[in-house]
Amino acid sequence: MKRQQRILASFAAAAWVAVPSLSAGEDAASKEGAGRTLKSSPNIVYIYADDLGYGDLSCYGQDKLTTPNIDRLATEGLRFTDHYSSNTVCSPSRASLMLGQHAGVCYLRGNAGPVNSALDPDATTLPEVLKGAGYATGMFGKWGLGVTCAEKHHQNPLEHGFDEFYGWKSQTIAHTYYPATMVHNGREVPVGKGTYVHPLVMEKAREFIKRNAEARKPFFCYIPTAIPHAAMHAPRKLHQKWRKKLPRFDNRIGKYGAGGEPCPNVVNPVAGFAAMMEHLDNEVGALLDLLAKLDIDEHTLVMFSSDNGAHGEGGHDYTFWNSTGGLRGMKRDMHEGGIRAPMLARWPGTIPAGKTTGHISAQFDVLATLCDIIDRPAPKASTGISFLPTLLGKPQNQTQHKYLYFEFRQGRNQKLHSRALRMGQWKAFQKAGQPLQLFNLEKDPSEKNDLSTSNPEKAAELGKNMDQAHVPLPSR
């Protein structure tokens, strides 16, 4: 039996009920109330930052650096306060995004090496759905689901619906911005020694956008940038600028590895982080300028999020930068600082500008949302709910999750590390082998007060829901 079929069989057997399906009446109401205003086949740009924390953007409270271009997505669009990555590390979040599946169902629930991380060739992916609807599909940056020039084990993004790919060879090599080679459409391409490659990634993305806009072909441009994942490499001029602002950290040296690829140490990685963020913000600004220049601004949905919470690697001082935004935890755990993510959406003339929403959603909802936008059914294996009504400022038409479930596993054997569940204002967290903890996020967003003893009924209810949401991992 194919892996996807095994997942679905286990899914049905577990009688998982976390995500209610839309009834025919609800679907019709949503389309009538929201869909009539949609422009047909809009272009879609999804920018996926790497290890960017909830507090790393100025529109989410960062006050030691500013991100004015990324903030434009908020001031000219919609800012989500309760959006979640699908997991707390790179690969499983990316797999969930591609498949539209939460961590209790997805085949990948931790970083498990290139072969074990590869997508099922029989699964239907986000780019495949869009390609089937007539979209050009391009990806530029970090794949995180195998070796991008591999011709076996189904690791190459070109095997999963992308027409074009330019980026790092592997997830490990993406730790450096000075690799010896990059990969373009399955082939390794040498880059000059000492070349900072992120501008090359963004330029390829803009070329893809320009080419398809001029051909009047709708496009899906997926930009999983590696910023601000360690190493804390940044363009030299920006790094020097921030070293002058933060000279007290010049005694720090940031070190990181990239699978044998060139990965220089960083003097003052604290300044390096700020320079990386400024560089990313500048690149987003250039992309938005291009959309305006091509006169496709109002026909393009741009979304921005991050694959998991803030990290503390390569010399990044997440406490100095308040990268978690005051939330407890960080990358590799299931507290809010590890999984709550920034989410911004801009679509001039369609998404009301300057609004904020507390709609509880996750990245595995993106596939369902885009299917709703292009009026295509979501794949049967998807577990997401479209948040299109929220995008359009029609919360009365928005179907809610009963709960969001998260499960993090480690190593190639994917041994359980921790799990969590968000249900309305309630949050359950449980580390493997330890008692379940219960938090009221409305009153205690930093998860300081465990209420499991004082409210055992609610703790038991959320614990039961966690058990129902979990489907055993399929054999590989």
Q: What is the pLDDT of residue 208?
A: 98
Q: Low-confidence residues of the chain, pLDDT below 70?
A: 1-37, 475-476
Task: Provide the token pair at 278.
Answer: 């400024």
Kind and range of the H or E element at 239? Answer: helix 236-245
CA distance readout (Å), 104 to 360, 408, 467, 474: 18, 9, 9, 11
Query: What gap in Å lies between CA 351 and CA 347, rounded to an integer?
Result: 5
Task: Provide the token pair at 101.
Answer: 């599946």
Q: What is the pLDDT of residue 412?
A: 84
* Residue 390 three-state SS: helix
Query: What gap in Å lies between CA 148 and CA 156, rounded to an integer?
Result: 4
Residue type, 266: V
CA distance readout (Å), 420 to 136, 438, 466: 37, 10, 7
Angle at 231 between CA 226 and CA 234, to 5 degrees: 75
Alpha helices in 321-437 (DSSP H): 336-339, 366-373, 388-391
Q: What is the pLDDT of residue 37?
A: 52
248 Cβ contact partners less than 8 Å away, ≥ 6 residues apart: none
Task: Provide the token pair at 348.
Answer: 């001039």
Query: What gap in Å lies between CA 294 and CA 296, rounded to an integer?
Result: 5
CATH 3.40.1280.10 for domain 3-417, yes or no, is no
Q: Are 215 and 205 in contact (CB under 8 A)?
A: no
For residue 175, how far is the Cα from the chain centroid?
Answer: 17
Query: What gap in Å lies between CA 320 and CA 250, rounded to an integer?
Result: 15
Q: What is the pLDDT of residue 40?
A: 80
Q: What is the pLDDT of residue 404?
A: 98
Alpha helices in 14-147 (DSSP H): 24-33, 68-75, 90-99, 114-117, 126-132
Query: What gap in Å lies between CA 472 and CA 238, rounded to an integer?
Result: 47
Q: Are 48 and 96 in contact (CB under 8 A)?
A: no
- Which residues on adjacent β-strands are paired with residue 44? 220, 301
Query: What gap in Å lies between CA 41 and CA 386, rounded to an integer?
Result: 16
Q: How many CB atoms are located within 10 Å of the residue 220 CB?
A: 27
Query: What gap in Å lies between CA 200 and CA 423, rounded to an integer?
Result: 42
Instruction: Please state the φ and ψ torsions of residue 57, each to the nearest 5 degrees.
Output: -105, 145
Q: How many CB atoms are located within 10 Å of the residue 328 CB?
A: 17
Token pair 């449980």 in the structure block, residue:
430
Sign of the dihedral through C-alpha 18, 19, 25, 26: positive
90-99 and 366-373 helices, crossing angle to 10°: 30
Q: Are 356 and 78 in contact (CB under 8 A)?
A: yes
Q: Are 154 and 160 in contact (CB under 8 A)?
A: yes
Kind and range of the H or E element at 263? Answer: none
**Tens digits of residue pLDDT in 237-252:** 999 999 999 999 999 9
